[in-house]
Amino acid sequence: MAYVVTDACRGCRYTECVTVCPVECFHLDEQMTYIDPENCIDCGGCAPICPVGAIHPSWQMPAGKSDWVEINRLRAAETPVIAAKIPPLPGADEQARRLVS
């Protein structure tokens, strides 16, 4: 079991999640982060800190989001690890307001 980043992260790419991960299981591309399920220890620290609610436990995925379990596995294998917070993408705050309202 692991936590999973969903498409709510796309276009925002806040990286607060990275700062609480004790095992550096987050990976990054130009649009969002992904969690490597092989390294995630299910600590759960990342989910509540995500400002857009993009992170969920794989065993409790929102309706229509179960494909993100496999997407995270595949993309984590193709992208570099991120271990430190970076600035969010331009326009992230506006997108976050739309997602959480």
Stretch 36-65: mean pLDDT, rounded?
A: 97
Q: Report how far residue 2's alpha carbon sits from residue 45's, in angstroms, rounded to the nearest whole number.
A: 12
Which residue segment(s) compose the domain that 7 sits in?
3-86
pLDDT tens for each residue of 76-101 = 999 999 999 999 999 888 888 887 76
At residue 4, the pLDDT reads 98
Nearest 5°: the CA angle 18, 43, 67 is: 75
| DSSP secondary structure letters along 30-90 | SS-EEE-TTT------HHHH-TT--EEEGGGPPTT-THHHHHHHHHHHHS-B--S--PPPT
Query: Is residue 98 in some structural domain?
Result: no
Query: Is residue 97 in some structural domain?
Result: no
pLDDT band at 71 (very low <50, low <70, confident <90, very high): very high
- The CATH number linked to 64 is 3.30.70.20
pLDDT band at 47 (very low <50, low <70, confident <90, very high): very high
Query: Is residue 101 in some structural domain?
Result: no
The separation between CA 100 and the C-alpha centre of its own chain, rounded to angstroms, equals 16
Overall number of domains in the chain: 1
β 3-5/26-28 pair status: unpaired
